[in-house]
């Protein structure tokens, strides 16, 4: 099933990433298996072609950062900044994600089977993030575009200073951040949500979610809002 196996107990992350970067044509059929990640940083960063990489264990910071086109599956937890600045492709975490999951990412799908901690989707710019568990405080801070779907609960200051990202939460929101409000779920939102839940393999109904987004009160400076900045 796997076309390549790389054991990080024997091979450095730099060598692994270089080999992945050297792939210069789409490799739809290739499945790479990475053994013994042991929390190493920057595993499978900067991939640019269609290839599947499966990481057998816990990965460290910035796993699958800057991903384009590739599918990266982690059979474990990931530390800070998984799929940071992802452009396209799929990153699937079977465990939990630490803070800043999907930060600043422009596209692609990040699916987290467990929880994601603080600042999930911070400054997201077009990525779709589906978290099957809960997200920590300050998630979707300054989120610009894209969709964040949280099947569990959201921590404090959710969606603080959000721009135009769509935020969907199935459970409880501890508190909303500045300028973030609950919004009506219209037909297009149910459709978006249904598609995303299906893509992430989530067996819950779109009707169970609430939508949150920007009240757009901070877009233009108003002296009455000075204390909110």
Partner 1 sequence: MCGIVGLFLKQSSLEPELGALFSEMLVCMSSRGPDSAGFAVYGTPAPAGKLKAILQHSNPDFDWSAIGVALEKQFRDKPSVEVNSTHARFLVKTDVQSIRSFLEANFPEVRIMSVGRRIEIMKETGLPESVVERFSLRKIAGSHAIGHTRMATESAVTTEGSHPFSTGVDLCLVHNGSLSNHNRLRRRLGREGIEFHTENDTEVAAGYFAWQLANGATLKEALEAGLEDLDGFYTFAVGTEDGFAVLRDPIACKPAVLAETDDYVAMASEYRSLANLPGIEGARLWEPEPAVVYNWSRTQRCEPAFRRDNRIGVTAWGVSGRQKSSQPDKILNPSSRV
- Return all residues near 36 (Cβ < 8 A) that are at least 6 apart: 7, 8, 9, 56, 57
* Phi, psi angles (nearest 5°) of residue 228: -85, -20
How far lies 13's CA from each of 40, 45, 93, in Å?
8, 10, 19
CB of 27 to partner 1, least distance (A): 29
Residue closer to partner 1 by CB (options 100, 192) is 100
Residue 77 burial by Cβ neighbours in a 10 Å radius (0-12, 13-18, 19+): buried
* Phi, psi angles (nearest 5°) of residue 35: -105, 155
Q: Which two tokens stand for residue 222?
A: 């108003």
Residue closer to partner 1 by CB (options 30, 56) is 56
Residue closer to partner 1 by CB (options 33, 58) is 58
Strand partners, 78: 59, 97
Q: How far apart are CA 50 and CA 47, in angstroms?
A: 8
Sites of contact with partner 1 (CB under 8 A): 38-40, 58, 60-61, 77, 79-80, 95-99, 112, 114-118, 133-139, 141-142, 152-157, 160-161, 174-175, 177-178, 218, 228-229
The residue among 97, 91, 108 whose CA lies nearest residue 147 is: 108
Residue closer to partner 1 by CB (options 25, 223) is 223
CB of 210 to partner 1, least distance (A): 15
CB of 115 to partner 1, least distance (A): 3
CB of 87 to partner 1, least distance (A): 20
CB of 48 to partner 1, least distance (A): 27
Strand partners, 107: none
Q: Which two tokens stand for residue 56?
A: 């057998």
Residue closer to partner 1 by CB (options 30, 76) is 76
Backbone conformation region of residue 26, classed left if phi is above 0, alpha if psi is from -120 to 50, else beta = beta
CB of 55 to partner 1, least distance (A): 13
Residue closer to partner 1 by CB (options 68, 94) is 94
């Amino acid at each position: 099933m796997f076309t390549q196996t790389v054991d990080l107990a024997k091979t450095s992350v730099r060598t692994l990433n270089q080999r992945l970067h050297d792939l210069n044509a789409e490799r739809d059929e290739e499945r790479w298996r990475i053994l013994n990640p042991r929390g190493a940083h920057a595993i499978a960063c900067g991939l640019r072609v269609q290839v599947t990489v499966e990481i057998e264990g816990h990965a460290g910071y910035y796993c699958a950062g800057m991903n384009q086109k590739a599918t990266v599956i982690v059979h474990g937890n990931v530390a800070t900044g998984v799929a940071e600045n992802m452009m396209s492709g799929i990153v699937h975490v079977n465990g939990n994600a630490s803070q800043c999951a999907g930060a600043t990412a422009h596209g692609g799908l990040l699916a987290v089977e467990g929880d994601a901690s603080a600042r999930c989707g911070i400054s997201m710019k077009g990525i779709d993030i589906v978290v099957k568990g809960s997200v920590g405080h300050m998630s979707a801070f300054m989120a610009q575009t894209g969709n964040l779907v949280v099947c569990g609960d959201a921590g404090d200051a959710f969606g603080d200073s959000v721009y135009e990202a769509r935020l969907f939460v199935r459970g409880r929101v501890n508190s909303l951040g500045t300028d973030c409000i609950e919004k009506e779920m219209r037909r297009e939102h149910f459709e978006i949500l249904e598609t995303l839940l299906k893509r992430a393999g989530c067996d819950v109904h779109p009707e169970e979610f609430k939508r949150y987004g920007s009240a757009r009160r901070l877009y233009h400076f108003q002296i009455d809002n000075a204390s909110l900045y």
